[in-house]
Amino acid sequence: MRVTVVGAGVVGTMHAWQAVERGHEVVQIERETEARGASLRNFGQIWVSGRAAGEELETALRARELWEGLGARVPALGFRPNGSLTLVRTGLERAVAEAALSLPDAAARGYKLLTPAEARTLNPALRGTYDAALYCERDAAVEPRTAQLALRAELLRHPNYTFLPGREVREVTGPGTVRDDHGEVHRADAVVLCTGAWLGGLVKELAPDLPVRRVRLQMMQTDPLGEPLPTSVADADSFRYYPAYRGEALGHLEATQPQSPTAAAHRMQLLMVQRADGGLTIGDTHEYEHPFAFDTVEEPYEHLTGVVEGFLGRPLPRIRHRWAGAYAQCTDPGRVVHRQQVREGVWLVTGPGGRGMTCAPAIAETTANELGW
């Protein structure tokens, strides 16, 4: 088969990888010289811990398995099975963690509730104050700013793969056929549009009632910490944003222990992971209302700095980068991704939300299976 993949973020690149692995001829088109969206502006976390039971968790676990295999084949991905610690400081937060341990799929996630001493044995950098830590053994991480480049370098070794950067697909001209802004027509047996948060232009024309919204977030990265941070780290505010933790204990927490005003105003949670150079990627916020602000604001960064320093028991290194980004999220929270045939031979795959980096390998595998690749 001939396959055209539009978009070079992690979802698009995983679709290209699946097609090449299955013996097909692939042309991948990217409107930038390289992808610059949410696939780079994220934590690089393969985040199993908070996924909803059922399809979402199954997708994340399958993706975790695929990421590990890819990491063995492409070491430059920086795959590491680092696990995560969600640190709790109050009885109400601990109750949510304890409820997670009773989930039928707790073992599949690798949940354990650790004392502070046990958490520090696993992650000695966490010298600060907390009462317990929910450990998720199945969480992992890759390097988000280089993962797509590493995968593409491997793809380019294959004679059946072609990468065309700096081109925007403008029109579907027939079954499995698209025209780019260079006037070149690309004919294939299947076209897969993996355009991320770019939901206007051709995407809007093909799917005007798309059940997907854009979400904006702010993040930051520090200078090297000067010591290893062996696990990813989250705070108990993250319980509020992941469906695995929904239940009576979380309802009681939300009713009686409100977030700080800054965290509530910016819909915040702490997620933190160490990069290969030793720096820390820290975030994040959630903004849903359009139009998005065009500037980044300082209060969320100040809040995150205070939370992290409380857990580390030391000052945070200098902030080296601050950025904002946007990702596409299905408006139906029960859907892992929106997959739709929009024309004959043309499919749109978008809306994984904050699950994109985690689930992309399994999302692409499912597309390949459903399209009969």
Confidence tier at 296 by pLDDT (50, 70, 90): very high
In terms of Cα–Cα distance, which of 171, 247, 218, 212 is closest to 11?
Answer: 212
For the segment 200-218, what is each residue's pLDDT rounded down to a tens digit? 999 999 999 999 999 999 9
The single-letter DSSP state of residue 85 is E
**How far is the C-alpha of 171 from the C-alpha of 205, rounded, in Å?**
9
Which tens digits make up the pLDDT trace of 71-118? 999 999 999 999 999 999 999 999 999 999 999 999 999 999 999 999
The span from the CA of 303 to the CA of 280, in Å, is 16
Q: Provide the whole-model pTM.
A: 0.96
Please list, in sequence order, all residues whose beta carbon lies within 8 angstroms of the beta carbon of residue 144, skipping any fewer than 6 positions away: 39, 40, 41, 42, 43, 44, 357
Cis amide prior to 209 (ω within 30 degrees): no
Phi, psi angle pair for 17, to nearest 5°: -60, -45
Beta bridge mates, 86: 134, 234
Sign of the Cα pseudo-torsion (74, 77, 78, 84, in order):
negative
* Angle, CA 54 vertex, CA 364 and CA 325 arms, to 5°: 50
More confident residue, 182 or 290: 182
- Model confidence at 35, pLDDT cuts 50, 70, 90, reads confident
Quote the pLDDT of residue 238.
97
In this predicted structure, the answer to whether residue 188 has a pLDDT above a threshold of 90 is yes
pLDDT at 39 over 90: no
Instruction: Judge whether residue 293 has pLDDT over 90.
Output: no
What domains, with CATH codes, occur in the chain?
1-79+141-210+332-373 (3.50.50.60), 84-137+212-330 (3.30.9.10)
Q: Is the Cβ–Cβ distance between 237 and 270 less than 8 Å?
A: yes
What percent of the chain is modeled with pLDDT above 70?
100
- What is the helix (H) or strand (E) element at residue 61, kind and residue range? helix 55-73
- The two beta strands, 2-6 and 190-193, are parallel
Quick one: 104 exposed, middle or buried, by C-beta within 10 A (0-12, 13-18, 19+)? exposed
Tell me which DSSP letter residue 295 carries. Answer: S
pLDDT in tens, 216-272: 999 999 999 999 999 999 999 999 999 999 999 999 999 999 999 999 999 999 999
> Is residue 334 predicted with pLDDT exceeding 90?
no
